Amino acid sequence: MIRVALDSQPLLGEKTGIGQYVDNLTNVLKRNREEIEIKYWFNQILKKKHSTLNIDQFDIINSSYPYKVIRRLQGPDLLHSYPIDIGDKFDLFHGTNFIGYNTNKSKMVLTIHDLAFLRYPEVADYITYRHHTRWLPYSIKKADHIIAVSNQTKKDIIDYYKVPEYKISVVHLAANHTVASVETHSFNLPEQYILFVGTLEPRKNIPFIIRGFALAKRKYSFNHKLVLVGKKGWKYEEIFKTIDDLKLNDEIIFLGFVTDQELSVIYKKASLFLFPSLYEGFGMPILEAMRHGVPVITSNLSSMPEIVGDSAIKISPNHLDELVESIGVLIENVEIHTNYSKKGLKQSKLFSWERVGKETLDVYKKVLS
């Protein structure tokens, strides 16, 4: 029996990519009760927040850990020298969100989702950049093994931190399990629309999407609106300025953060999905769209070609003409639209949380062997 304390703090607040990772990974690992015992680890100071989660309190462990004090001191050495108490009952601590901790005698596995803050520092928010550049090197040094969510992320870890290849395992993620079986009328959605899902931040290249949408609408004269789904991130103001400058307020709908059930309905009704991000460690929304049979236009950079194969249209995220032409092809050519819909659905089935759970458990066994 492998006993694991799993950093579950990404479950707090609105669950975006890493929160979905922790949620789905924990659920699939907990099914294998004969081989593994999972406990949700939280910092004691966050107890009020996690008490509202739908988790059996018996499955939760808390550590009295002065996170705010140490972070304010900006001391990465302090972070790793101050031990967190996960008791003597655990063999391994899994840091699910870049940062690891001093767990005394326990082994540690660390998941690194991307190194966007190093590859494209100009589109990384200052807090994330400062936090990761100070603390991630120490976490990597402390870790017994690292999980990278794509081959691209593995390559970046080796390039930037000189980590030996044998110390890194690639475990691809999967789409969210939620597929709505019933429709909801929570949103006044148009009959036809093009969709983007993700945090509204510079790395997602949303002004590029908006300009491409405007040019394609003018060139191909379609009736589709553009729907943006996701919470506002840093420097989101440029997105709404672009909408105002191009006088597209009646053509673009911003829904903000939505529930998994609502998001599934939004995916199902979309005509096509745009995700020309500048950099992704994995790009979970791409798989979610394909799982709902929505044709995808994405970037030819970082992990995105690795995830989609030949099941999506890949463009340069800097060339508007490629985006405009690709939108036009999928809007006007039913045969091509249907072909990418089928190929995307087939591709998405190659990625499952059951496989993520199995491969993660294999990493645990390797570390403890």
With a cut of 80, say whether residue 281 has pLDDT above it: yes
Query: Quick check: 102 and 144 in contact, CB under 8 A?
Result: no
Domain-located, residue 125:
yes
DSSP code of residue 23:
H
Return the pLDDT at 68: 52
Residue 61, token pair as written in the block: 């462990």
Q: Are residues 88 and 104 in the same domain?
A: yes
Q: Are residues 46 and 97 in the same domain?
A: yes
Domain tally for the chain? 2
Domain-located, residue 337:
yes
Query: Quick check: 92 and 367 in contact, CB under 8 A?
Result: yes
- Measure the CA–CA gap between 356 and 366, rounded to whole angstroms: 15
Domain-located, residue 143:
yes
pTM over 0.75: yes
- Measure the CA–CA gap between 194 and 175, rounded to whole angstroms: 20
pLDDT band at 81 (very low <50, low <70, confident <90, very high): very low
Return the pLDDT at 302: 95
Domain-located, residue 258:
yes
Return the pLDDT at 73: 46
Q: Are residues 197 and 65 in the same domain?
A: no
Q: Which residue has the higher pLDDT, 331 or 43?
A: 331
Q: Are residues 325 and 358 in the same domain?
A: no
188 Cα distance to chain centroid = 27
Domain-located, residue 182:
no
Return the pLDDT at 122: 84
| Mean pLDDT, rounded, for 213-218 | 98
Return the pLDDT at 137: 94
Domain-located, residue 75:
yes
pLDDT band at 364 (very low <50, low <70, confident <90, very high): very high
- Which residues in 73-104 are b (16+ Cβ under 10 Å) and which e? eeebeebbeeebebeeebbbbbbbbbbbbbbe
With a cut of 70, say whether residue 338 has pLDDT above it: yes
The one-letter amino acid code at 21 reads: Y
Q: Are residues 159 and 12 in the same domain?
A: yes
CATH number, residue 98 = 3.40.50.2000
For tokens 């030949």, what's the residue? 310
Q: Work out whether strand 272-275 and strand 193-197 pair parallel, antiparallel, or are unpaired.
A: parallel
CA angle 169, 172, 174 (to 5 degrees): 155
Instruction: Convert the pLDDT of each residue in 93-129 to its tens digit.
Output: 999 999 887 777 789 999 999 999 999 888 788 888 8
Q: Are residues 39 and 98 in the same domain?
A: yes
Domain-located, residue 302:
yes
With a cut of 50, say whether residue 76 has pLDDT above it: no
Give the range of the structural domain holding residue 291, as residue numbers without chain letter: 193-348
Q: Are residues 314 and 226 in the same domain?
A: yes
Query: Quick check: 267 and 233 in contact, CB under 8 A?
Result: no
Q: Which helix (H) or strand (E) holds 195?
A: strand 193-197
pLDDT band at 63 (very low <50, low <70, confident <90, very high): low
DSSP letters spanning 24-84: HHHHHHHT-TTTEEEEEEEEGGGHHHHTTSSS-GGGEEEE---HHHHHHHT-HHHHHHSB-
Q: What length is written for the chain?
A: 369
| Mean pLDDT, rounded, for 248-263 | 94
Return the pLDDT at 77: 47
Residue 16, token pair as written in the block: 């975006």
363: Cα within 13 Å, side-chain hemisphere: 27
With a cut of 70, say whether residue 211 has pLDDT above it: yes
CB atoms within 10 A of CB 268: 13
- Measure the CA–CA gap between 149 and 290, rounded to whole angstroms: 18
Q: Are residues 217 and 151 in the same domain?
A: no
pLDDT band at 207 (very low <50, low <70, confident <90, very high): very high
Return the pLDDT at 70: 47
Domain-located, residue 244:
yes
CA angle 13, 17, 19 (to 5 degrees): 40
Return the pLDDT at 15: 74
Q: Are residues 202 and 141 in the same domain?
A: no
The one-letter amino acid code at 181 reads: S
Q: Are residues 207 and 320 in the same domain?
A: yes
Q: Are residues 37 and 165 in the same domain?
A: yes
- Measure the CA–CA gap between 344 and 309, rounded to whole angstroms: 9
Average pLDDT, the chain: 88
CB atoms within 10 A of CB 159: 12
DSSP letters spanning 299-317: ESSTTHHHHHTTSSEEE-T
With a cut of 70, say whether residue 290 has pLDDT above it: yes
With a cut of 70, say whether residue 69 has pLDDT above it: no
With a cut of 60, say whether residue 208 has pLDDT above it: yes
Q: Are residues 47 and 149 in the same domain?
A: yes
